[in-house]
Amino acid sequence: MKEQVNTIDWLERQLAQVKTFIERDTALLKEDPDDFAVELSLNSWKFERESLEDELRLARKDLVPNSLEIFFAKDDGLSLSRKEIDDAFQILIDDLIKAISLAHLFRSTGRGPNEDLSKSHDKYLSLSYKRKENEYGKFILFEKTKSKSSVDIQFESAILGILNTLNADTYHKLFENFLAIGLDCTIQLRDMLAALDRRGIRPRFAWASHDHALFWHGDVKHSIKSFERLSLAEYIKTRRVFLTGEFISEDESGVFIKAQNNEPVKIICSEIQRESMPKPKRDKIISIEVMEYDLYINDDHERLIAFHAAT
């Protein structure tokens, strides 16, 4: 199974690189439609993309669908002892369950950081897990049952949000994902990585479903970078405010209102929040309680501001 995961991960990275080449050549061909060399290059990359996608479809069939698989490695590349695996697994499970619960609570309420979440997250999402092992040392966490329950959906959304956050490689992607899982979950993830790092242990996650697979490598390079990026959450300033304006529209990620300065403002809402919110008519004046998130990026002299509904 480890070899299968490595193969899928390699194919995913190759496919991502090929897609960037396709975007590059497409842009070049728009500038000069008669450039035959660029056209050949573009067609070649498109063929490569199709081949990689076919290989991925075949490789993913061997993964356990709708489950999170966890592998452990040491900094020195040696195998973990039975006790080291047990200790690492227990640390990760305890912290990961809390992170998943905090992510779900945030998606349910949009509550800001440190708003006494630790005492209430358990009642929102009760999780159980299975630990399975084989000759490859594979662990399956929260394997789904055949019937798709609401807990399954909540768990999947939290896991995808967590892995996307760990994989985020720009300030903008980090900020966007922080607003998907919440700052409390983000700090919890950072502390989880730190606890394993102190023991020289690197986790690796592989989430598989029927239509996609998502990975995160916990090697030294990725772990240090993820720790630094997750720590960015502590520099985000928050405040609770009311926004009032004319309702314009909504999409899968939030609602848009026209504020007092006539500028459209997006208010991020999870699908759970939208289900409990009334459906306003266009041009109707609405008032929504939100958390404002403000991040100043000193390196780029850029300021990111966003609003998330607090229900």
Q: What is the DSSP string of 177-240?
A: HHHHH-HHHHHHHHHHHHHHHTTTEEEEEEEE-SS-EEEEE-SHHHHHHHHHHHGGGGG-EEEE
Instruction: Give the count of alpha carbons within 13 A of 73, CB side only.
Output: 11
What does the pLDDT read at residue 10?
Answer: 83
What's the CA gap between 267 and 272, in Å, rounded? 14
**Which residue, of 198, 219, 235, is where some domain finishes?**
235
Question: Which of 38, 59, 80 is at the close of a domain?
Answer: 59
Q: What is the pLDDT of residue 197?
A: 83
The candidate with the shortest Cα–Cα distance to 1, out of 151, 270, 213, 299, is 213
Per-residue pLDDT of the chain (311 residues; tens, 9 = 90+): 456 667 777 887 888 899 889 989 999 989 998 888 888 888 889 888 877 876 776 666 666 666 777 777 777 666 677 788 788 888 887 888 888 888 888 988 887 776 655 555 444 455 556 666 644 455 666 655 555 555 556 677 888 899 999 888 788 899 999 999 999 999 999 998 888 888 888 787 877 766 666 777 766 566 667 778 898 899 999 999 998 888 888 888 888 988 777 788 999 998 888 887 777 777 788 888 999 999 988 776 789 999 999 98
Closest CA to 291 of 44, 109, 82, 81: 109
* Total domains in the fold of the chain: 3
Number of helices (H) and strands (E), helices first, in the chain? 9, 9
Examine the domain organization and report whether 7 and 115 are in the same domain: no
Question: Does residue 171 share a domain with residue 35?
Answer: no
Distance from chain centroid for Cα 12:
16
Q: The domain spanning residue 266 has which CATH number? A: 2.40.50.140
The residue range of the domain holding 241 is: 237-309
Are residues 73 and 114 both part of a single domain? yes
Final residue in a domain of this structure, among 186, 203, 235: 235
Verify that 230 and 241 share a domain, yes or no: no
Asked if 285 and 222 sit in the same domain, the reply is no
Q: Do 108 and 73 share a domain, yes or no?
A: yes
- Tell me how far CA of residue 162 lies from CA of 39, 177, 206, 254, 265, in angstroms: 39, 8, 12, 20, 26
Q: DSSP 3-state assignment of 108?
A: helix
pTM as predicted: 0.73
User: Are 180 and 294 contained in the same domain?
Assistant: no
Reading the block at residue 243, the tokens are: 């926004």
- 263 & 221 share domain: no
